Amino acid sequence: MQKRFKELTEREILALAIQNEEEDGRIYGEFADALRESYPATADMFEEMRGRPETRASDGDGGGAFLPAGGRAGDARRDERTT
């Protein structure tokens, strides 16, 4: 049985958000691959939107935050409180 959003725990919400982010990245990658030959600039835009960690980590604008590899939600919250 599916839960209503308001019934989800913080951990379940985080898992859902991560799952959706990964699915979005996969879709953006498929768009990039399909467009690369005819529209390379647009394909590059979709690659950036894919949000691969190596792309976001190097963009320098601070908008590419990721949980550390193997990280947990508690780790991210603790880091936010100490910065």
Domain boundaries, the chain: 10-61+71-82
Question: How confident is the model at residue 51, as a pLDDT?
Answer: 77
Share of the chain above pLDDT 90, in %: 53
**pLDDT tens column, 10-35:** 999 999 999 999 999 999 999 999 99
Question: How confident is the model at residue 1, as a pLDDT?
Answer: 81
- Could you give the CA distance from residue 51 to residue 37 in angstroms, rounded to a whole number? 21
Task: Assign residue 62 a region (left: φ > 0; alpha: ψ between -120 and 50; beta: otherwise).
Answer: left
**pLDDT tens column, 42-82:** 999 999 998 754 434 334 444 444 444 444 444 444 433 44
C-alpha distances out from residue 19 to 14, 15, 23, 26, 59, Å? 9, 6, 6, 11, 23
Q: What is the dihedral of CA 51, 53, 58, 64, to 10 degrees?
A: 60
pTM over 0.85: no
